Amino acid sequence: MESWEQTLAGLVIGAGAALKRHAFLLCGDEAQAEDLVQEALVRAFTRPLRGPRPGAAEAYVRVIMVNLFIDGARRHSRWGRVAPLLRSAELVADPADQVSDRDAILTALRGLSPRQRACVVLRYYEDLPIANVAAVLGVGQGTVKRYLSEAMSRMAVQLSGAESL
């Protein structure tokens, strides 16, 4: 039977990049994505009772990442409301950067709530069916559809604004 160390090594080497990309879309930030991946891996493998099975380790870690991201966003929401007031001028994005498609989509993602962002990433990046997205987030399928609908509306506004620049 494969030990947890072997499972972990296989996961980091085989799926590390994919996990990082997933985390990057959730967080929109390199450093946070790095931390999110590491924290999710640690959480996954510190549970002897319900640790990941070798074949399902990647999916297990992805679920933990989404939940950690949502929980973390909830905890930091108070700070998030204040942070923009404290942000210095040099940290404001250069408008020229926003012209690029990739920056525009990241900006649009940042405009969503954590659950909406998670829904968009799981549905349109990971290509999960609605039922699976609902299972990952622990909400009903109707709720997921509503999150996606609201997210798409917000993103449409953001993206059309960016394209008109």
Partner 1 sequence: MPIDEPELRSRLAQAAALSSPPRVTTEDVAARVRRIRRRRHWRAGALAAISVAAVAGVASAVAIPLHQGGTRQGTMTVPPPAGPRLSYTVTVNGQARAIPARTGALPLFTVTPGERLTLAVRVTVPRPQALTGLWLGITAGTETAAKVPAYMKPILAGGSRSLQPGTQRFVLHWTVPAGLRPGASCELSADFAWSEGASAGAIAEFAVPLRSKATAPAAVARRLRALALHAVSSCDGARPASIHAVRTTFGKAMTVPDVVDGINLADSAADPVYLVLMKGYFIFHEGGGVPPGVCAHGPSGHYYSALFDGATFVTLEASLGDHPLPVPLRTLGPVLNLGRSVRGRGKR
Residues that bind partner 1 (CB under 8 A): 4-5, 8-9, 12-13, 16-17, 19-25, 30, 33-34, 37-38, 41-43, 45-50, 63-64, 67, 73-74, 77-78, 80-81, 101-102, 104-106, 109, 113-116, 120-121, 124-125, 127, 138-139, 143, 152, 155-156, 159-160
Q: Measured from the CB of residue 70, what is the shortest distance to partner 1 in angstroms? A: 10
CB of 153 to partner 1, least distance (A): 8
- Closer to partner 1 at the Cβ: 46 or 89? 46
Distance separating alpha carbons of residues 100 and 97, to the nearest angstrom: 6
Interacting residues of 129 by C-beta distance below 8 A, sequence separation 6+: none
CB of 91 to partner 1, least distance (A): 18
Closest CA to 109 of 162, 67, 61: 162
Q: How many separate helices (H) and strands (E) can be counted in the chain?
A: 9, 0
Contact (CB, 8 A) for 52 and 7: yes
Which residue's CB is nearer to partner 1, number 59 or number 139?
139
According to DSSP, residue 165 is labeled -
